[in-house]
Each structure stands twice: as structure tokens, then as C-alpha cells.
Amino acid sequence: MNLNYPLTYINGISNARASLLSGELNLSRLHDLLHFFPYRYIDRTKFYKIAELINNNTDIQLVGRVVEMKTIKQKRGSRLVAKFQDDTGSMELVWFKGHKWIKDSIKINTPYIIYGKLNFFNGNFSIAHPEMELVENYKRKRQSKLQPVYSSTEKLVNSGLSNKILRGYVQNLLQQVYEGIQETLPVPFMEQYKLIDKKQALLNIHFPNSPELLARAQQRLKFEELFFIQLQLLRKKLIRKNKIKGYVFEQVGENFTTFYNKHLPFALTDAQKRVLKEIRKDVGSHAHMNRLLQGDVGSGKTIVALLTMLLAIDNGFQATIMAPTEILATQHYNAIDELLKNMDVSVELLTGSTKAKKRKEIHSSLEDGSLKILIGTHALLEDKVQFQNLGIAIIDEQHRFGVAQRSKMWQKNELPPHILVMTATPIPRTLAMSVYGDLDISVIDELPPGRKEVKTVHRYDSNRLSVFNFMKQEIQKGRQVYVVYPLIQESEAMDYKDLMDGYESISREFPSPNYQISIVHGKMKAEDKEFEMQRFVKGETQIMVATTVIEVGVNVPNASVMVIESSERFGLSQLHQLRGRVGRGADQSYCILLSSFKLSSEAKTRLQTMVETSDGFKIAEVDLKLRGPGNIMGTQQSGVLNLKIADVVKDTPILQKARSAAIELLQNDPNLSKPENAVIQRTYSELSKRTGAWSNIS
């Protein structure tokens, strides 16, 4: 039977049920159901006696007979109650829905196996809506000792699609397709990596014959899933390097050398030099660069980006930086404009706030090639924005952009510009291998000399007065302070109230004229926000009370204290980004995490991690364990890892083995054309069709 057939080919699945399964669980073809794996298993080898039951609210299995049934009226509707007994005692089975068909289907005084969650109420045991099977049917069927439990939804359960029925569908399907299941990996390959065959794996993932076979089935299916993802990513990288040609930046010219020798504000770290070398090697070849640059807040990614853009300009090209927010785009513009103030290189800023007259000037100078560097937000993607010859596009905090948005950058030129993707959110190695496995990855893993580590402490709300006193001491030294409040959605009245209440209490504690306070939040107009930010940047105000709008994009070396209110409500990466706003000067800086006493275990872990380490990669690993890959990547990227069985956090050893296997395979057979790899080629082609062509842009 063809696995692309709809679910209605299975006995018992009507059009209505197929529609339900499609809508609730995204199962529409036989292939989907075959690869809809259980999330846990129940040991069905143990049978209990009624006399030995204890009140522990667990799933149990019994053998006995229904001896009588009655319907009992309730305030709302009625319930069906059956007396179930074995040779040691009796208990109740209860149903609140589907009375008629249940009553008609149960045979009195006939041996049944029942299964369900045990309840204890008013001194009596009962099971609500138990699974029931006649003993004679049970004996006829081939039984699995471990019974699968599948994910479900309330709508499915209420529609009568219980776990037992789902299990039956899978059993029917396996019986019909088992002999025709195609192998997806060659035999020598399976032997090399000690994998069982696909038929055995699918049978034992659904109906394991033993815990050992279940483990081997999971190993095989996880390896296969991760192997083909890695194969797709690595082949995409190979194809891009071999087939997609990029502009060649042959010379290191006057702009680069002048800036490097005369205007570089500090000596580059070894990490920055290493990354620049990697970038120069990329853009110096005929291949197209697609590189991810990771570096903690303050590690000097902007300087690396600027030198790369000057390299492009020296070779007759234009350059651009695209940032996700106006604040961050403006920060990049101000920083680069300042760095290039003594050089003849034109830089402009294009955002949603740019006035029409200025836009026309920018469009014109872009097209005639006189504008060399354009920095902006999504506004850069508009069709009106046409470069004369864009050589490199730098995308900052790229996880905030969708693939479709990034691909628009490619269409600005005849040849695609080189792409440098920057992020201050460290990406754990396991995730980088899985999501960004097609990119070359560079890491700036050291901070510029003279930077001191930010001291981080956790304090409870009851310590607020001592925190205020500490802020006063730092302000007396001439330093500045951030006080940040959580803002989950800018429209949430509660969060806005938190911010305004906080602002009032800080205003009372730090009265004018001795202290000046800025306030910045998402409800303000862009120009008001900018005005308040600039007051703080210029040192006219000592305290900035803000929401997370300052997470990225504010660079004030004189600010030495970051107070984060309700810190338990922030994610780890956000806390890490906020901490990165201080520690930008030579002074010792501090981050104070204020929280309530009521903390979940996850919140405790987050705050403890922040206190113990400032290593962005360690923080990212903890974050990945706490939140999982889907959440850490954000909505734009999480679809890439729509995994059926593998888990990139828990299955790191399998992931590494699968990636090594894919690398070794492509080294020996880059086009998958050798006869011994025909099975892999066929599976790869089918997967590519099913998932669609993955974009070439990171």
C-alpha cells in the first residue's frame, strides 16, 4: 500500500475522523500515522487483584467480570456505573458520556481485561472511562508487553478517538504495510553504526517486544532523522560553495588600511583577527559567503562588520547592515558614523521613521553608487531600495527575521551579495549544528582588553532599600544606572502599571534636582524615546527607568549598574542581553536581579545561572535545556527543527554521530551518485520533496 494514500484507507477511519486527525494532530497520510511515535509506554505485563489495590492514583490493569450496570441521575445529566468484580472483591467502573453504546456493547458476566487510572472516593475504588477488552480477543492478538501512549487532544478524546482506538489504527496500518516498508539506509551503513533495520524499528517503536528492542528502535529512528537533516544542511552548503558564485574582494585597499592603521579605536583581540581572516578567505574566493558571526555583547562584532564593509568598498561594492529594530539600527548608524568621521565614506540610515525627502535622496545615491554604506531596518527590503552593486549584507540578530525577508536581500543584485549574520545571542553547539549547519560559523570568544566582568547578584524585593543605597553610592562616583521592568507585550496594562509605579517610587527616593531620571517604554513616540535616550547617553540623567526596549541598542560606557525588576519574569537570553548593557567602560559594573520570594524551580535555575557565570555559551546551554529548541529559536526559525522523535538537547551524542556520518559520506560521494548510496539518494530526494526546498539563506 502506498504510504502517500490518505488515512481513510485504514479500516475505521471515516472522512470525518480523518479530518479530525488532520486538524488536531496534523496526520493526513498513512506515512504521517506510521511516523506518529508514542511519547511513553505502559507496562501491560502486570495484572492486579482488587483486594491488593492501594490509593496511589496510578494506571492499573485487572481481569474480571461486569456483574451489573445502572444509570444514576445527577444534577447535570447522568452517569453509567458498572459493578466489576474478580475473585477477591469488587469495584466500580464509571462513564459520564456515551452511555447507550457502552451499555449495549458490554457483555455481562464475561471475562474482560480493564485498564485505567485508579480513583479512590468515599472509601471505594473506581475507574472512570476504562479501556476494556474481552479476554478471548486479547488472547488471539499478538501482544506487546509495553503498550504505546500517543499524544492526543481534548477534542479527539471527546469525539471518541481514545488512545486505544489510535493504537488500533496504527496496528491495522502496520499489518497492511509491514512487508512493503522500504529501507532508507544501506546495509553496510547500518552495520557500521550498529542500527537495526527500518521494519524492526517501526514495529518496535509502536509495539516493543522488550525494553531493549524499544531502545534500539529509538536509536535507529533518532539517528536516521538527524542524519538526513545534517545531510540536507551539509549538501546545501556544498552546493552553495560550488555552484553559487560570489563577488571576489581581491584587494585590501585604501579604506581598509587607513581605518585599520589610523582610526581603529583599540587593538583588535586575537579572536577578532581570527574571524576577520576567516571572512577575508571567504570573500577572496569565488564562492558565496554565508557566515554566522557569534559574539557576546561587547565582544566587538561591530568593528569586524565595519572592516568587512570597508573591504567591499575597496573592491568597488556597496554594503548594508539590517537590524530588527529602529533603536538597534540607529545604534549601528551612530557607532559607524562616529568611527568613519575622519574618512571619506558615506553612511546613511533608513528606517520607517525616515522622512520622504530623505528617502528619495538615499534611493538616488544608492542607485548611482555614491552611497557606500546603508544601515536600516526592514525598510531596506522595500522594492524601491535598489543598490548599484551590493557586495555584502550584514544581518544583525537574524533570528528575528524570517527566511522570506532575508531572501529579499538576494534579489537586490545579479549575483547574491555575501551574507554575514551576526548574533549576540550565543547559540549552543548542538543547536548551531542542527539549525545553522549549512552556515560557516565564526565565534568571537574574548572581550576587548580592560573590560571587567560584571558582578551579578540576586536580591529579593525586601532588599530594595539597600539596592537604592547602592545606586546612590554609584551615582555619587559619577556613574549611571539602568532600572528595567518586564514588558511581555507592550499593550499589557499590568506591565505598564509596574513601570509607572516603579518610576514613581524611584522619583521619591531620588528627588529632583539632586537626581535626574529618564523614562523609556514602548508606548512612547520614536522621537520622545530618542530624546530620553540621548539625555541618558549625554549624562544629563543619572537613572534610566525602562522596559526591555533597551535590551539592544544602547551603548553608555558610563552606566555601571543594571537593576532588573521582577527578574524571574525574564528569559535567560534576555537577562544576559540586559546585563550586556553595562560593563562597557573600564569601571567595575554590577547587575542586580530583584525578584519576589515566590520562585518556580525554573526561575531559581535561571537566576542562579546568571549569578554563577557570564559565559554566554554556558547560559545558552542552560536556556536550551530549560526551554527546548523550538522556543529558543523563536517563531521564525523553529519550523526548521520539526523533529518527530529526536531531541537535539538530550540526543547530542546521536546528533554528533549522525553529523560525522553525513560528513564522511559526502567526502566520499558528494553527489550521492555511487550505487551503494542509491538508498540514501532515494530517501534524500523524497525528503527534499516533502519538506520543500530549504532556502539558501541561512
pLDDT by residue (tens digit) across 439-468?
A: 788 888 887 777 788 999 999 999 999 999
User: CA–CA separation, 69 vs 81, rounded Å?
Assistant: 6
Question: The domain 45-143: what is its CATH number?
Answer: 2.40.50.140
> Which amino acid is it at 524?
M
Residue scoring higher pLDDT (401 or 59): 59
Residue 404 has pLDDT above 60, yes or no: no
Residue 634 has pLDDT above 50, yes or no: no
289-316 core/surface letters (b: 16 or more CB in 10 A; e: else) = bbbbbbbbbbbbbbbbbbbbbbbbbbbe
Distances (CA, A) of 159 to 44, 106, 306, 345, 446: 26, 20, 60, 67, 58
Using a pLDDT cut of 70, give the percent of the chain over it. Answer: 90
User: CA–CA separation, 134 vs 17, rounded Å?
Assistant: 25
Q: DSSP 3-state assignment of 181?
A: coil
What local confidence, expressed as pLDDT, does residue 551 receive?
Answer: 52
Residue written as grid cell 496496528: 171
User: CA–CA separation, 381 vs 409, rounded Å?
Assistant: 7
Lowest mean pLDDT among 43-47, 101-105, 268-272: 43-47
Residue 599 has pLDDT above 70, yes or no: yes
Residue 689 has pLDDT above 90, yes or no: no
Average pLDDT for 287-306: 87
For residue 32, what is its C-alpha cell?
Answer: 504521517
Confidence grade of residue 636 (pLDDT, cut at 50, 70, 90): very low
Confidence grade of residue 488 (pLDDT, cut at 50, 70, 90): very low
Written out in words, the top-level CATH class of the domain with range 455-613 is alpha beta
> Which amino acid is it at 583?
G
Lowest mean pLDDT among 197-201, 496-500, 531-535: 496-500
CB distance 62 to 133 below 8 Å: no
**Integer distance in angstroms from the first to the last C-alpha of the chain?**
38
Residue 5 has pLDDT above 50, yes or no: yes
Burial of 476 (0-12, 13-18, 19+ CB in 10 A): exposed
For residue 494, what is its C-alpha cell?
Answer: 499590568
What local confidence, expressed as pLDDT, does residue 698 receive?
Answer: 39
Residue scoring higher pLDDT (410 or 43): 43
Q: In this structure, which topology does domain 254-285+300-423 adopt according to CATH?
A: Rossmann fold (3.40.50)
What local confidence, expressed as pLDDT, does residue 616 receive?
Answer: 81
Verify cis geometry, omega within 30 degrees of 0, for the bond prior to 426: no
Average pLDDT for 23-38: 93
**Ramachandran quadrant class, 89 (left: phi over 0; alpha: psi -120 to 50; beta: rest):** left
Within the chain, all domains assigned CATH 3.40.50.300 are found at 254-285+300-423, 455-613
For residue 467, what is its C-alpha cell?
Answer: 539596592
Beta bridge partners of 84: 66, 91
Average pLDDT for 275-288: 91
What local confidence, expressed as pLDDT, does residue 633 receive?
Answer: 46
322-349 core/surface letters (b: 16 or more CB in 10 A; e: else) = bbbbbbbbbbbbbbbbebbeeeebebbb
Residue 25 has pLDDT above 50, yes or no: yes
Residue 697 has pLDDT above 90, yes or no: no
Residue scoring higher pLDDT (475 or 573): 475
Burial of 51 (0-12, 13-18, 19+ CB in 10 A): exposed
Lowest mean pLDDT among 6-15, 404-413, 439-448, 520-529: 404-413
What local confidence, expressed as pLDDT, does residue 227 receive?
Answer: 94
What local confidence, expressed as pLDDT, does residue 366 receive?
Answer: 94
Contacts of 512 (CB under 8 A, 6+ apart): none
Confidence grade of residue 554 (pLDDT, cut at 50, 70, 90): low
Phi and psi at residue 142, to the nearest 5°:
-75, 115
Task: Convert the pLDDT of each residue in 54-83 to its tens digit.
Answer: 887 788 899 999 999 999 988 888 889 999
Residue 267 has pLDDT above 50, yes or no: yes
Within the chain, all domains assigned CATH 2.40.50.140 are found at 45-143
What local confidence, expressed as pLDDT, does residue 526 receive?
Answer: 76
User: CA–CA separation, 156 vs 24, rounded Å?
Assistant: 7
Contacts of 51 (CB under 8 A, 6+ apart): 88, 89
Residue scoring higher pLDDT (560 or 581): 560
Confidence grade of residue 314 (pLDDT, cut at 50, 70, 90): very high
- Mean pLDDT (the chain) is 86
> What's the pTM value of the predicted model, to 2 decimals?
0.66
